[in-house]
A and B are shown apart, each in its own frame.
Chain A
Amino acid sequence: MTRESPLLPVSDAREAALFFVIGALCFLAALAALTVRGTYVAAAAWGDQIEGEVTVILEDTDMRTAAEVASDIQNLSSVVDARILSRDEIEALLAPSFGPGGLPEGLPVPILIAVQADMSAGDPVPDIERLLRAADLAGDVGAHAGFAGHVRRALSVLRMVGLGAVGLLAATAISVIAFATHAALLARRDIVNVLHLSGAEDRFIAGLFARRFWGLASQAGIGGALAALMVTALIVFSASGRAGVEAELLPRLSLDIWDFLILSSAPVTAGLAARGAARLTVLRALKEMR
């Protein structure tokens, strides 16, 4: 039999409850943070995509001329891709207005050229307008950049709200962890008392409990963070089969350094909160004991 068991009991039912509380709070906080981060990434990508899109609407012309214009646009240095949208694609775009039944027969539909531009190489709109004038074609060039500005502003408001919610959740989690640690420690006052009267220094006793609760909270935090990662991955990957606008708007799990920082901050923060609360509670109890 060992002659140097840990000075604090290895397991305790009260600490199991604390473990669960901390794990659940870390799960919620990490899940919220990952969702906000995923939304942030998706919104940034969506904004970039909208900003680089230009739609050219051609009227009173035939498909051959339109194809020539599309080819000329494609040759512009700031253009990545230019292609004529098929009738099916146009119907899909207009579906929110006309319903799933398709466009009414006989409805004149303009020819649309979807242009994907590289805005870092310059704005292609003036060049496209010059091409249309040179070809003597009636048409309209619709840059989405102006629209993207509104979208970006709306997204930044949403982002701030998301960050605020995560901050509030994190603050709540820290408070609850500190309170739960304090409550769990009050039940351990007998051990504090015996160690104190056995001649242990205050910092020795406080250190014992601080290390104990740091370990417990960080382990619970790791469990909560991993569960949040799994749930986020499940949601994102189960939705990854969707196409179109829905897929664009879904949060993205990039699993880059930021995601791992968010995940690792949950157990570290929980551990620090529990450690600090344990230390303060023990020192306060010792001060009352003389």
Chain B
Amino acid sequence: MSRVRFDFDDDSAVRMDEVGLNYHDGEDILRDVGLTLPKGSFSFLTGPSGAGKSTLLKLMYLALSPSRGDICLFGRSTRLLKRRDLVTLRRRIGVVFQEFRLLDHLSAFENVALPLRVAGHRLATYQNEVEDLLRWVGLSDRIDARPSELSGGEQQRVAIARALINKPDLLIADEPTGNVDPEMSRKILRLFMELNKRFGTTVFIATHDLALVDEFDRPAYEIHLGRLRGRRRGAAA
């Protein structure tokens, strides 16, 4: 199945212009967010719990619409996109959810293969690819296990593999190291960096682990009271 690519001169994977979001009662969740993620960049998003990190990511992976402003993905405004185009865009984005969102009745293999399967690919065309990816995240011996049979860390890695299987142009991860030990956290981050280097995937990671952010020394943004700003290395959130 061929991918639809958009014509664009814009060199950014994500561009947010004065984006705001408020609930129905009018309370602002995000205010005047301006953010540009160049293609092939690797950056972090930090901030205290409830600051709006997950909400910002939801806007980015098209689960929410902004109340104000515009979000451009791969050079194209998402404001007036048709649903069909939204699906096409969504297939270029890999998402690692904070709560994994694995389907309990499917095995690790089937969960990872889900984005390919719903896009109409046949098992024979992706079987090796999925097995390789599961091996890469260290789950070669857990391929047929269901999520309920996996530990939190293993589920996390299945969720990561699912986000990567499409070789996305943009990888968004919401607290991808939240359920794993420090060693595994570093392993996961190195895996993301390898993806970023090898395929030029734009990576954007929300985390509250400031030590990890400082250790990997990449551009970081901080969200506080619904506003986004650049974060200096070593600064407390």
Contacts and interface: CB of A to CB of B under 8 A. Distances in A.
Interface of A: 1, 3-5, 7-10, 190-191, 193-195, 197-202, 204, 289-290
A5 B114 contact: no
Contacts of A199: 87, 90-91, 115, 118-119, 166
A200 B188 CA distance: 27
A230 B65 CA distance: 55
Given A9-B104, A194-B101, 18 more contacts: A3-B107, A3-B113, A5-B106, A10-B105, A190-B101, A193-B101, A194-B102, A194-B103, A195-B114, A197-B61, A197-B63, A198-B115, A198-B118, A199-B91, A199-B166, A200-B119, A201-B87, A204-B118
B107 A194 contact: no
Shortest 9 CB-CB contacts between residues of A and residues of B: A200-B118, A199-B91, A9-B105, A1-B144, A198-B115, A198-B114, A199-B90, A194-B101, A201-B87
A201 B64 contact: no
A224 to B, nearest CB: 28
B107 to A, nearest CB: 7
Interface in B101-129: 101-107, 109-110, 113-115, 117-119, 123, 127
A204 B87 CA distance: 11
**Which label, helix, strand, loop or mixed, suits the secondary structure of the A interface?**
loop
A290 B65 contact: yes
A8 B106 CA distance: 9
Contact of B63 (A3, A4, A289): A289
Contact of A3 (B65, B105, B109, B162): B109
A190 B83 CA distance: 20
A1 B107 contact: yes
Contacts of B84: 201
Q: Which of A3, A201, A204 has the most CB of B within 10 A?
A: A3
Nearest to A290: B65
B189 interface: no
B95 interface: yes
10 contacts: A3-B107, A3-B110, A4-B110, A5-B106, A7-B118, A190-B101, A195-B114, A195-B118, A198-B118, A290-B62
Interface residues of B, number: 32
B115 A3 contact: no
Nearest to B119: A199
Contacts of A8: 105
B99 to A, nearest CB: 10
Interface in B71-106: 83-84, 86-87, 90-91, 95, 101-106
B22 to A, nearest CB: 16
Interface in B157-176: 162, 166
A5 B110 contact: yes
A3 B123 contact: yes
B83 A202 contact: yes
A7 B117 contact: yes
Nearest to B168: A199
A136 B13 CA distance: 114
B81 to A, nearest CB: 10
Contacts of B110: 3-5
B233 to A, nearest CB: 33
Contacts of B119: 199-200
A191 B123 contact: no
Nearest to A194: B101
Contacts of B83: 202
B103 A191 contact: yes
A3 B62 contact: no
A198 B166 CA distance: 10
B140 to A, nearest CB: 15
A3 B90 CA distance: 24
A10 B105 CA distance: 8
Given A5-B107, A7-B117, A290-B62, A197 B166 contact: no
